[in-house]
């Protein structure tokens, strides 16, 4: 069966895309939770904490509603036999004195009873929907926020190796798939099971021999449902995986659109997206094929049971006996019985649907859990860094990025006094930025120790450490919002005067004032309407307003012209005078006045001293300087 099915599944989308899916290694996110047996249950147990009572209430109400809803045919059967076949009219739990003995009052009694039961059924149904909905929404909210919080707290090593589009896919698509499941499946699952259970109970009460015959097909039904369920899960894993890869591709292409255009790469990029979209379409097609066959197969089996019951029951009613079956069966028993047999089809279809949703949600839960399990961040340090003096020590530090063998830092030893300004220079890839990432504890050294005020940074709470260090990157990120909001990002209580003072010190006030909306100008999703130099100055203002005891400028003025840089440096002199400051720069004039210049080469410190010292030494720094001032050819 699987062979022919496999061929059918590949017939729609292209062969290439199909092969691509087969060949692809399961992504790191999904693989991280591969050994989790019940990912969805684990996730809901944590996400649903405190609200499980709503599932209990919903479940009880739903079961009650189904048993009551399904009771009507049972009562109608008894009433018909009483009215037309002169049988005794007796109902469980109803005192016999309440039931009339003449046909017309019996009809009135039956109608009133059925109407009353419908009212109870409706009330319980509303209560069930309400309870399940409440559980779903609260749980989903918690799972979404928890997942986002987990992603945010992951080590930088995770983001280095995981494409942001894929992470977004977990936060968006996988959480949405969980939403689709939670909004429908718990109630529908209970409804299906209790519809089946109530039908079985009433069938058994009507005629348990015939009930057993109708149920002969049940084991086959369960086995087929299980088989399809397993296939659903495997196929859904592929779909989620392909969605993640596609999202990552779309995300990088849109954010790198300028480069794509510059190289005229639109056609090439469209081809790449087309290939990945085809792989996604193949995965979805194959997953849908399972769904397309699942329900009809179950319906066919349930239909077979119905036809068999119809044959046996009608033969039995006509002849007054059937083969070895004892006793007789009346029309008043057979008609509701057939109804119950037929009413098993709908919940079986529901069950197939719920199984599909469950398997989809299970794949998503696996990825959400995977994000939590992949490289969990090391425990946060316990020591809070309070108003540090700013002494920084690198004690024979060596480091390779996670997952790589290349030593990016080798035996780096550096002591920086409080208040000192250190310029870091060296060729590209020498390890300057990496040195500062270790100071902020984005990564831990493989050997040696980085200390701030004598504390190993691993022992410090990351939040208190990073609050103490103002960091400006070469391509700073601006948040969607106004310039004012961006500058005041870390200081809720900042006044307009504070914001302006910070902007002046960063050399940003002038160009901000020239903008029509001034400080209220929106900077768009990634600050696109500002130049690189303007964005850098806003980022410097943001750090100055936060007023941290230590500063790190990593090529922070590389996009501004020489004149503006000199102006910024002058206004920063006062700010940096008392604080430990690191300045990474390729333009050596930026660090010329630093208290000390540290020259790095291939992960090592090769020289250090003041500008004049280093020039006098006539080593690496002097070479770099000569190249920059044009004294020698590069
Ligand atoms: N996240 C990362 N994962 C793996 N390797 C990395 C990562 N970041 C940097 N590297 C590698 O580490 C080395 C040092 O990089 P680093 O950014 O520290 O150099 P740099 O001196 O700051 O260079 P530049 O002046 O170009 O900014 C380089 O070889 C680089 O390829």
If one compares 162 and 617, the residue with the highest pLDDT of the two is 617
Residues 95 and 146 placed together within one structural domain of the fold: yes
The most confident of the ranges 188-192, 410-414, 591-595 is 410-414
Pocket perturbation via mutation, ligand 1, pick of 398, 402, 426, 433 by most ligand atoms within 8 A of CB: 433
User: How many other C-beta atoms are found inside a 10 Å radius of the C-beta of residue 548?
Assistant: 18
Locus of tokens 């940096």? 576
pLDDT score, position 9: 39
Domain range enclosing 16? 2-373
Query: What's the CA-to-centroid distance between 184 and ligand 1, angstroms?
Result: 49
pLDDT score, position 407: 94
- CA-proximal residue: ligand 1, atom 9 (nearest): 434
Q: What is the DSSP string of 438-497?
A: HHTTSS--SEEEEEETTEEGGGB-HHHHHHTEEEE-SS----SSBHHHHHTTT-TT--HH
Per-residue pLDDT at 171 exceeds 90: no
- Tell me which of 339, 373, 407 is where a domain ends: 373
The C-alpha atoms of residue 426 and residue 411 are separated, in whole angstroms, by 16
Instruction: Express as a percent the part of the chain with pLDDT over 70.
Output: 92
Query: What's the CA-to-centroid distance between 434 and ligand 1, angstroms?
Result: 6
Query: What's the CA-to-centroid distance between 603 and ligand 1, angstroms?
Result: 10
Q: Residue 179: inside a domain, yes or no?
A: yes
Locus of tokens 């057993």? 212
Residue 389 contacts residue 49 (beta carbons within 8 Å): no
Atom of ligand 1 nearest to the CA of 437: 18
Give the range among 92-101, 205-214, 371-380, 425-434 with minimum mean pLDDT: 371-380
Strands 421-426 and 580-584: parallel
pLDDT score, position 503: 93
Residue 120 contacts residue 114 (beta carbons within 8 Å): no
Degrees to nearest 5, angle at CA 434 with 593 and 414 = 55
Q: Residue 468: inside a domain, yes or no?
A: yes
Residue 376 — very low, low, confident or very high, per pLDDT cuts 50/70/90? low
Query: What's the CA-to-centroid distance between 429 and ligand 1, angstroms?
Result: 5
Does the beta carbon of 245 lie inside 6 Å of ligand 1? no
- Tell me which of 346, 373, 400 is where a domain ends: 373
Query: What's the CA-to-centroid distance between 264 and ligand 1, angstroms?
Result: 28
SS3 322: strand
Q: Residue 15: inside a domain, yes or no?
A: yes
User: How many other C-beta atoms are found inside a 10 Å radius of the C-beta of residue 359?
Assistant: 25
pLDDT score, position 163: 65
Closest CA to 512 of 542, 474, 556, 476: 542
Residues 365 and 427 placed together within one structural domain of the fold: no
pLDDT tens-digit map of 102-132: 878 888 888 999 999 999 999 999 999 999 9
pLDDT score, position 398: 96
Residues 344 and 435 placed together within one structural domain of the fold: no
Q: Residue 387: inside a domain, yes or no?
A: no
Query: What's the CA-to-centroid distance between 79 and ligand 1, angstroms?
Result: 84
Query: What's the CA-to-centroid distance between 254 and ligand 1, angstroms?
Result: 25
Instruction: Express as a percent the part of the chain with pLDDT over 90.
Output: 28
The C-alpha atoms of residue 303 and residue 422 are separated, in whole angstroms, by 81
The C-alpha atoms of residue 529 and residue 522 are separated, in whole angstroms, by 9
pLDDT score, position 25: 44
Residues 442 and 336 placed together within one structural domain of the fold: no
Residue 3 — very low, low, confident or very high, per pLDDT cuts 50/70/90? very low
The C-alpha atoms of residue 65 and residue 70 are separated, in whole angstroms, by 9
Q: Residue 570: inside a domain, yes or no?
A: yes
Query: What's the CA-to-centroid distance between 404 and ligand 1, angstroms?
Result: 12
**In the structure encoding, which two tokens stand for residue 139, read together?**
């749980």
- When pLDDT is averaged across residues 69-74 and rounded to a whole number, the result is 86
Does the beta carbon of 404 lie inside 6 Å of ligand 1? yes
Strands 550-554 and 469-472: parallel
pLDDT score, position 183: 85
pLDDT score, position 348: 76
Does the beta carbon of 433 lie inside 6 Å of ligand 1? yes
Residues 234 and 166 placed together within one structural domain of the fold: yes
Q: CATH code at 235? A: 1.20.1560.10
Give the range among 62-71, 339-348, 579-588 with minimum mean pLDDT: 339-348
Give the range among 252-266, 419-433, 590-604 with minimum mean pLDDT: 252-266
Residue 481 contacts residue 523 (beta carbons within 8 Å): yes
Residues 365 and 406 placed together within one structural domain of the fold: no
Interacting residues of 72 by C-beta distance below 8 A, sequence separation 6+: 114, 117
- CA-proximal residue: ligand 1, atom 5 (nearest): 401
pLDDT score, position 2: 38
Query: What's the CA-to-centroid distance between 155 and ligand 1, angstroms?
Result: 17
- CA-proximal residue: ligand 1, atom 12 (nearest): 408
Q: What is the DSSP string of 247-285?
A: HHHHHHHHHTHHHHHHTT-HHHHHHHHHHHHHHHHHHHH
**Mean pLDDT of the chain, nearest integer:** 83
The C-alpha atoms of residue 360 and residue 367 are separated, in whole angstroms, by 11
* Counted domains in the chain: 2
The C-alpha atoms of residue 149 and residue 127 are separated, in whole angstroms, by 33
SS3 341: helix
Query: What's the CA-to-centroid distance between 432 and ligand 1, angstroms?
Result: 8
Residues 314 and 410 placed together within one structural domain of the fold: no
Does the beta carbon of 438 lie inside 6 Å of ligand 1? no
pLDDT tens-digit map of 394-417: 999 999 998 788 999 999 999 999
Residues 121 and 223 placed together within one structural domain of the fold: yes
Pocket perturbation via mutation, ligand 1, pick of 400, 427, 430, 584 by most ligand atoms within 8 A of CB: 430
- When pLDDT is averaged across residues 482-503 and rounded to a whole number, the result is 91
Give the range among 175-179, 213-217, 270-274 with minimum mean pLDDT: 213-217
Residues 399 and 537 placed together within one structural domain of the fold: yes
Q: What is the DSSP string of 177-215?
A: HHHHHHHHHHHHHHHHHHHHHHHHHHHHHHHHHHHHHHG
Atom of ligand 1 nearest to the CA of 431: 18
Query: What's the CA-to-centroid distance between 630 and ligand 1, angstroms?
Result: 27
The DSSP bridge partners found for residue 525 are none
Does the beta carbon of 428 lie inside 6 Å of ligand 1? yes
Does the beta carbon of 538 lie inside 6 Å of ligand 1? no
pLDDT tens-digit map of 421-460: 999 999 989 999 999 999 999 899 999 999 999 999 999 9
**In the structure encoding, which two tokens stand for residue 198, read together?**
């109530």
Instruction: State whether the Cα torsion 361-366-371-372 is positive or negative.
Output: positive
Q: Residue 249: inside a domain, yes or no?
A: yes
Pocket perturbation via mutation, ligand 1, pick of 434, 472, 555 by most ligand atoms within 8 A of CB: 434
The C-alpha atoms of residue 155 and residue 450 are separated, in whole angstroms, by 17
Residues 464 and 357 placed together within one structural domain of the fold: no
**In the structure encoding, which two tokens stand for residue 163, read together?**
């494409």
Pocket perturbation via mutation, ligand 1, pick of 408, 423, 428 by most ligand atoms within 8 A of CB: 408
Closest CA to 74 of 257, 338, 295: 338
Does the beta carbon of 431 lie inside 6 Å of ligand 1? yes
Atom of ligand 1 nearest to the CA of 156: 1
Residue 175 — very low, low, confident or very high, per pLDDT cuts 50/70/90? confident
Q: CATH code at 513? A: 3.40.50.300
pLDDT score, position 498: 94
The C-alpha atoms of residue 265 and residue 276 are separated, in whole angstroms, by 17
End-to-end CA distance of the chain: 70
Query: What's the CA-to-centroid distance between 472 and ligand 1, angstroms?
Result: 17
Atom of ligand 1 nearest to the CA of 430: 21
Per-residue pLDDT at 521 exceeds 90: no
If one compares 144 and 455, the residue with the highest pLDDT of the two is 455
- CA-proximal residue: ligand 1, atom 3 (nearest): 401
**In the structure encoding, which two tokens stand for residue 410, read together?**
């080798």
Pocket perturbation via mutation, ligand 1, pick of 156, 404, 407, 432 by most ligand atoms within 8 A of CB: 432
- CA-proximal residue: ligand 1, atom 29 (nearest): 429
The C-alpha atoms of residue 346 and residue 623 are separated, in whole angstroms, by 82
Does the beta carbon of 359 lie inside 6 Å of ligand 1? no
Q: Residue 605: inside a domain, yes or no?
A: yes
Q: Residue 514: inside a domain, yes or no?
A: yes
pLDDT score, position 212: 82
Does the beta carbon of 408 lie inside 6 Å of ligand 1? yes
Pocket perturbation via mutation, ligand 1, pick of 154, 397, 429 by most ligand atoms within 8 A of CB: 429
pLDDT score, position 1: 35
The C-alpha atoms of residue 170 and residue 366 are separated, in whole angstroms, by 10
pLDDT tens-digit map of 21-41: 444 444 666 666 777 788 888
Query: What's the CA-to-centroid distance between 433 and ligand 1, angstroms?
Result: 7
pLDDT score, position 13: 44
pLDDT score, position 525: 58
Per-residue pLDDT at 550 exceeds 90: yes
Per-residue pLDDT at 546 exceeds 80: yes
Does the beta carbon of 430 lie inside 6 Å of ligand 1? yes
- CA-proximal residue: ligand 1, atom 13 (nearest): 429
Query: What's the CA-to-centroid distance between 626 and ligand 1, angstroms?
Result: 25
Give the range among 186-195, 214-223, 284-293, 536-545 with minimum mean pLDDT: 214-223
Residues 366 and 402 placed together within one structural domain of the fold: no
pLDDT tens-digit map of 203-259: 888 888 878 877 777 788 888 878 887 887 788 888 888 888 888 788 778 877 877
pLDDT score, position 438: 94
- When pLDDT is averaged across residues 336-354 and rounded to a whole number, the result is 80
Residue 16 — very low, low, confident or very high, per pLDDT cuts 50/70/90? very low
Residues 493 and 351 placed together within one structural domain of the fold: no
Does the beta carbon of 426 lie inside 6 Å of ligand 1? yes
The C-alpha atoms of residue 572 and residue 445 are separated, in whole angstroms, by 31
Residue 263 — very low, low, confident or very high, per pLDDT cuts 50/70/90? confident
Atom of ligand 1 nearest to the CA of 424: 21
Per-residue pLDDT at 17 exceeds 70: no
Does the beta carbon of 427 lie inside 6 Å of ligand 1? no
Query: What's the CA-to-centroid distance between 409 and ligand 1, angstroms?
Result: 10
The ipTM of this complex is 0.96
């Amino acid at each position: 069966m699987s062979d022919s099915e496999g061929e059918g599944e590949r017939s729609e989308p292209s062969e290439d895309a199909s092969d691509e899916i087969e060949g692809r290694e399961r992504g790191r996110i999904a693989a991280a939770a591969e050994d989790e047996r019940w990912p969805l249950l684990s996730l809901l147990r944590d996400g649903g904490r405190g609200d499980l009572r709503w599932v209990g209430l919903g479940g009880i109400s739903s079961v009650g509603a189904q048993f009551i809803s399904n009771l009507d045919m049972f009562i109608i059967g008894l009433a018909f036999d009483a009215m037309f076949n002169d049988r005794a009219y007796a109902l469980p739990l109803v005192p016999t004195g309440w039931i009339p003995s003449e046909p017309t009052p019996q009809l009135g009694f039956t109608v009133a009873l059925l109407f009353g039961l419908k009212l109870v059924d409706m009330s319980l149904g509303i209560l069930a929907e309400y309870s399940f909905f409440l559980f779903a929404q609260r749980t989903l909210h918690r799972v979404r926020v928890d997942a986002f919080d987990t992603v945010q707290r992951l080590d930088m090593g995770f983001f280095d190796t995981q494409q942001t589009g894929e992470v977004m896919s977990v936060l968006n698509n996988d959480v949405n798939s969980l939403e689709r499941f939670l909004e429908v499946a718990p109630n529908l699952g209970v409804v299906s099971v209790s519809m089946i259970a109530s039908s079985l109970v009433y069938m058994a009460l009507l005629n348990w021999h015939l009930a057993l015959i109708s149920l002969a097909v049940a084991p086959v039904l369960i086995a087929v449902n299980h088989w399809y369920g397993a296939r659903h899960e495997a196929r859904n894993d592929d779909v989620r995986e392909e969605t993640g890869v596609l999202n990552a591709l779309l995300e990088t292409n849109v954010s790198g659109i300028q480069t794509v255009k510059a190289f005229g790469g639109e056609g090439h990029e469209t081809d790449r997206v087309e290939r990945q979209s085809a792989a996604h379409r193949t995965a979805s097609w194959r997953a849908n094929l399972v769904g397309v066959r699942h329900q009809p197969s179950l319906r066919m089996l349930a239909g077979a049971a119905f036809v068999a019951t119809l044959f046996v029951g009608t033969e039995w009613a006509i002849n007054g006996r059937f083969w070895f079956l004892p006793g007789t069966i009346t029309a008043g028993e057979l008609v509701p019985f057939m109804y119950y047999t037929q009413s098993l089809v709908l919940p079986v279809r529901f069950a197939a649907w719920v199984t599909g949703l469950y398997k989809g949600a299970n794949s998503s839960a696996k990825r959400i859990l995977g994000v939590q399990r992949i490289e969990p961040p090391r425990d946060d340090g316990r020591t809070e860094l309070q108003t540090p003096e700013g002494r920084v020590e690198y004690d024979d530090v060596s480091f390779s990025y996670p997952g790589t063998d290349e030593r990016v830092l080798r035996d780096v030893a550096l002591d920086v006094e409080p208040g000192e300004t250190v310029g870091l220079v060296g060729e590209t890839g020498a390890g300057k930025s990496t040195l500062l990432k270790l100071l902020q504890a984005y990564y831990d050294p493989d050997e040696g120790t980085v200390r701030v005020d004598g504390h190993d940074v691993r022992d410090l709470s990351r939040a208190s450490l990073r609050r103490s260090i103002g960091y400006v990157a070469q391509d700073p990120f601006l948040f969607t919002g106004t310039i004012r909001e961006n500058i005041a990002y870390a200081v809720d209580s900042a006044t307009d005067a504070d914001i302006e003072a910070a902007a002046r010190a960063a050399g940003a006030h002038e160009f901000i004032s020239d903008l029509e909306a001034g400080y209220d100008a929106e900077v768009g999703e990634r600050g696109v309407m500002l130049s690189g130099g303007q964005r850098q100055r806003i980022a410097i203002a943001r750090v100055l307003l936060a007023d941290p005891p230590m500063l790190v400028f990593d090529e922070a003025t590389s996009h501004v012209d020489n004149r503006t840089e000199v102006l910024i440096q002058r206004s920063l002199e006062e700010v940096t005078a008392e604080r430990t400051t690191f300045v990474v720069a390729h333009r050596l004039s930026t660090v010329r006045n630093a208290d000390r210049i540290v020259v790095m080469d291939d992960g090592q410190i090769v020289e250090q001293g003041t500008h004049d010292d280093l020039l006098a030494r006539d080593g690496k720094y002097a070479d770099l300087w000569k190249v920059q001032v044009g004294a020698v050819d590069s």
